[in-house]
Amino acid sequence: MDDVYNLEVISPNRHGGIILHISSLPSKYGIGTFGKSAYEFADFLKKAGIKYWQVLPLGPTSYGDSPYQSFSSFAGNPYFIDLEMLQEDGYLKEEELDLDFGDDPRHVDYHKIYTHRFQVLKKAFHRYREKNPGDIEARGPYIEEYAAYMTIKKTQDNKAWNLWEDSLKDPHSEEVKKQLDIHQEEYQFHLFCQKIFFEQYFKLKEYVNGQGIQIIGDLPIYVAEDSADLWAHQEDFLMEKNHPSVVGGCPPDGFSEDGQLWGNPIYNWNRLKEKDYEFFHERMLCNLDLFDILRIDHFRGLESYWEIPYGSKTAATGHWVKGPGVDLFRRFEEKYGKANIIAEDLGYITEEVIEFREATGFFGMKVMQFAFNPEGESDYLPHNCTRNWVMYTGTHDNETLKSWVEKAPKKEVEFAKKYLKISQEEGMVWGIIRGAWSSVCDIAIAQIQDFLEIGDEGRMNAPSTLGNWTFRVKREELTDELAEKIHDLNKLYGRIR
């Protein structure tokens, strides 16, 4: 009998990806933007044969600068507006950009960004108004809520809404309408920033998609307490007077004896179900408009979530509560069609969570750094994986691979070396990347920090600490040689189609 090759067993969906948040792009203005460097990075990805560019949430950030604690689930971060594009459009002058935004090419100085960025954007806003008199059209009611929230917030010393004067805590009150009339210019300024943000972003996305690259975005499961989302939609959350009655987090585990106390308000799922999950679905729709694929953070919290009484000092006082489960996504699909979703199903996983993800059909996640405990068979090891997974070397919450190799238990590093047959010439970092790329998982993704073999200074986030989200890549690091090396990896393991 002649040899027969069944080409159907070869997945057409094998591709590689790189994590690099917008804030981490090179820029002479202190933080990455939707400007020239973003287009250059898209060119780099194309040369490297990369299909997916993964970013973090793009919302405006609050205290701590975390993209997972945003003033709005629907608005964009004004920090990402490119100032040189505003200059080209005639809204800024070159000398107005000569401010101290921070000169460290490796780290963002958020204090300097906060101090100076809005000064410049205000100048652009005033020139825009001179050329375009009249009200600025908002990109939907949620952007109007955000602009109103930020306007009132400024009159209240930038405090969270539940610390405002009582007459302002109700977004529909006459006093809120009065204050918005008084401070109409501030309100229009926030609408202007959102208008420019989305114009610049979608122009970039069109270019990225035109290069054959898709953008993977990120949706935090919860909203922030200090947010337009909670202020304007209090009825959709479990509330007591003017604050949440319970908040989210993670239970104590081997990594933290107190667990993780996030402090985010928890949805009133019973009420949301009665409203066909409108608010959560709107959050999904907004992000699916921005991104080609959407990663849902803390996906397991939609099956069961850790509920902690408001005011608790640690997460240890919490307990498990059932979430909406498959019904949330079944109803979404009935109304809007199938969504391209990656379920961040890491952490404490039960049989119910596994069944939940399998019922949705979404991609799950594997992380190479969690695979190499030689004392037990890990389902993160490549030989235990199947196609419908995304294999990460590490996520934004992990150490970089270089740091992991330096700090992990010696037995785990040695097991990884033996398992992946890593030679001294290849080195541990690229050996682990190769292991991810060689896996049967349809998608393999690594942080740019791992491809650059950067250590501790490249860590994006250490959970439950401050001073994160500052990493920046240097322009000179994104070389043609690196792109060619990544391209060869993609070609070797069939991740170029």
- Catalytic residue numbers read 297, 344, 397
How many CB atoms are closer than 10 A to CB 429? 24
C-alpha span between 237 and 190 (Å, rounded)? 26
C-alpha span between 370 and 145 (Å, rounded)? 41
**Six token digits for residue 118:** 């809005």
Coil, helix or strand for 365?
Answer: strand
C-alpha span between 146 and 228 (Å, rounded)? 5
C-alpha span between 211 and 47 (Å, rounded)? 10
**Six token digits for residue 268:** 């009133």
C-alpha span between 491 and 485 (Å, rounded)? 10
Rg (C-alpha) for the chain, rounded Å, is 23
- Which residues fall within 8 angstroms of residue 89, CB to CB, at 6 or more apart? none
- Distance set, CA 364 to CA 7, 325, 346 (Å): 25, 16, 9
C-alpha span between 295 and 342 (Å, rounded)? 4
C-alpha span between 191 and 75 (Å, rounded)? 10
C-alpha span between 459 and 315 (Å, rounded)? 25
- Distance set, CA 477 to CA 116, 212, 351, 405 (Å): 27, 23, 43, 22
Buried b / exposed e along 4-37 (16+ C-beta atoms within 10 A)? eeeeeeeeeebbbbbbbbbbbbbbebbbbbbbeb
DSSP 245-309: SEEEEE---SS-TT-EEEEEE-B-HHHHHHTTTHHHHHHHHHHHHH-SEEEETTGGGGTEEEEEE
Length, in residues, of the chain: 497
Coil, helix or strand for 443?
Answer: strand
